[in-house]
């Protein structure tokens, strides 16, 4: 090898190259043009590589194995340790949230995280919320809400995109290390069921707009504008209703929306100054109470007043808190009002 290299070097030195082939002999303008051309090519290559790395993109790794069978129910004991908070879906999948990725593993009885069954990643958007929907005869659906306003629904059996839409951008990843808040308390992403056919409904709340979607087709069922300051609303769902509490109003106003139609089903806490026969619309029944944060106040008229605004038991957030009634009274549009504070 050394002999060959020595021979090549001797030959290269012995060759008489044409004077015009030497860059030092080129005109100054030609040399500058060559340098500028090389710089342009280098910059273009760098820009191309940077775009490939940093450009908005999404990656989908669909499932290659068959959809798993229903797992046996785990015993009521400490079963294993997971580094991420799972959303159990269809009794077969564990779905996890990361800053820029949604992924699932199986079986649900695995004591540790295992190789992803499927995964979906977006860049540079951040995952804001994650929710699931399931119904007999339908594949489970995983709905994700992203900071750029993207709403992406994935088929839980394969990880493939079932449908997508777009709403107002906003929010960021709040799940920290385990993703628990993004999975269990997703901001602006809620689920409920229609009161007419018990079909699940996905609700997306952004910038004072609430939209309801069918989890499997992505069809928008209704859209409604929520009044007041968007930063003053506390929202949650009952089995068949969407509830929105305006915490900046005095007294706080609770608005109840029927998930099936998007129409207002009731309003609590606001009473007109002029005489009236009712405050709001008669309430639809709901069977499951929801918790109320401490400090929430309900204004209740005196007995016999036509404007009853106390929250009925089905909609009152009482689970986990005790309601204590204060004796503070003041005149109001519907007579003397007594303040009841949840503590």
Quick one: pLDDT band at residue 27, thresholds 50, 70, 90?
A: confident
Helical residues (DSSP H) of 129-233, grouped into ranges: 180-184
Domains of the chain: 55-71+80-222 (2.40.128.630)
Digit-coded pLDDT (tens) for 286-337: 333 344 344 444 333 333 333 333 444 444 443 332 333 333 333 333 333 3
Phi–psi pair at 331, nearest 5 degrees: -70, 150
- pLDDT score, position 322: 32
**pLDDT band (50, 70, 90) for residue 205:** very high
Angle in degrees, CA 186, 188, 193, rounded to 5: 85
**Percent of the chain surpassing pLDDT 90:** 46
Give me the long-range contacts of 105-113 (CB less than 8 A, separation at least 24): 106/68, 107/68, 107/71, 108/71, 108/74, 109/71, 109/72, 109/74, 109/79, 110/80, 111/79, 111/80, 111/81, 112/80, 112/81, 112/82, 113/82, 113/83, 113/84
Q: Which residues make Cβ contacts (< 8 Å) with residue 50, sequence separation at least 6?
A: none
Contact predicate 337/301, CB 8 Å = yes
What is the structure's pLDDT at 59? Answer: 86
Does 333 or 165 have the greater pLDDT score?
Answer: 165
For the ranges 71-75, 78-82, 98-102, the one whose mean pLDDT is highest: 98-102
Position 341 scores a pLDDT of 36
Ramachandran angles phi, psi of 193, nearest 5°: -135, 150
pLDDT greater than 60 at residue 220: yes
Which helix (H) or strand (E) segment holds residue 326: the answer is: strand 323-332
Whether the pLDDT of residue 47 is over 70: the answer is yes
Residue 1 has pLDDT above 90, yes or no: no
Asked which of 256-265, 268-277, 300-309 is least confident by mean pLDDT, the reply is 300-309
Query: 161, exposed or middle or buried, with CB in 10 Å at 0-12, 13-18, 19+?
Result: middle
What's the whole-number mean pLDDT along residues 170-195? 95
First-residue to last-residue Cα distance in the chain: 88
Lowest-confidence pick of 107-116, 193-202, 251-260, 326-335 = 326-335
pLDDT of residue 289: 36
150-155 and 161-166: which strand pairing? antiparallel
- Residue 303 pLDDT: 36
Q: How many CA atoms lie within 13 A of 235 on its CB side?
A: 25
């Amino acid at each position: 090898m050394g002999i060959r290299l020595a021979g090549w070097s001797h030959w290269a030195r012995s060759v008489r190259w044409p004077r015009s082939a030497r860059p030092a002999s080129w005109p100054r303008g030609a040399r500058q043009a060559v340098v500028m051309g090389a710089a342009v090519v280098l910059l273009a290559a760098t820009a191309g590589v940077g775009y490939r790395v940093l450009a908005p993109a999404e990656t989908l790794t669909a499932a290659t194995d068959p959809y798993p069978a229903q797992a046996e129910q785990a015993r009521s004991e400490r079963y294993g340790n997971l580094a991420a908070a799972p959303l159990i879906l269809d009794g077969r999948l564990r779905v996890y949230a990361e800053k820029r990725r949604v992924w699932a593993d199986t079986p649900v009885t695995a004591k540790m995280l295992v190789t992803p069954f499927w995964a979906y990643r977006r860049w540079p958007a951040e995952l804001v919320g994650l929710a699931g929907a399931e119904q007999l005869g339908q594949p489970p659906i995983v709905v994700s809400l992203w900071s750029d306003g993207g709403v992406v629904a994935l088929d839980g059996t394969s990880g493939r995109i079932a449908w997508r839409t777009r709403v107002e951008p906003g929010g960021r990843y709040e799940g920290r290390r385990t993703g628990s808040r993004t999975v269990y308390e997703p901001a602006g992403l809620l689920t409920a069921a229609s009161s007419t056919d018990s079909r699940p409904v996905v609700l997306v709340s952004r910038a004072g707009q609430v939209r309801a979607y069918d989890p499997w087709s992505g069809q928008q069922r209704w859209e409604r504008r929520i009044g007041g300051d968007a930063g003053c609303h506390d929202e949650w769902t009952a089995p068949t209703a969407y509830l929105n509490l305006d915490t900046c109003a005095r007294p706080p106003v609770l608005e109840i929306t029927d998930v099936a139609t998007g129409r207002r089903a009731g309003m609590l806490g606001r009473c007109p100054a002029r005489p009236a026969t009712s405050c709001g619309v008669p309430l639809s029944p709901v069977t499951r109470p929801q918790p109320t944060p401490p400090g929430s106040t309900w204004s209740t008229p005196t007995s016999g007043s036509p404007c009853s605004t106390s929250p009925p038991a089905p909609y009152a957030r009482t689970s986990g808190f005790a309601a204590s009634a204060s004796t503070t009274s003041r005149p109001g549009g519907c007579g003397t009002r007594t303040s009841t504070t949840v503590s």
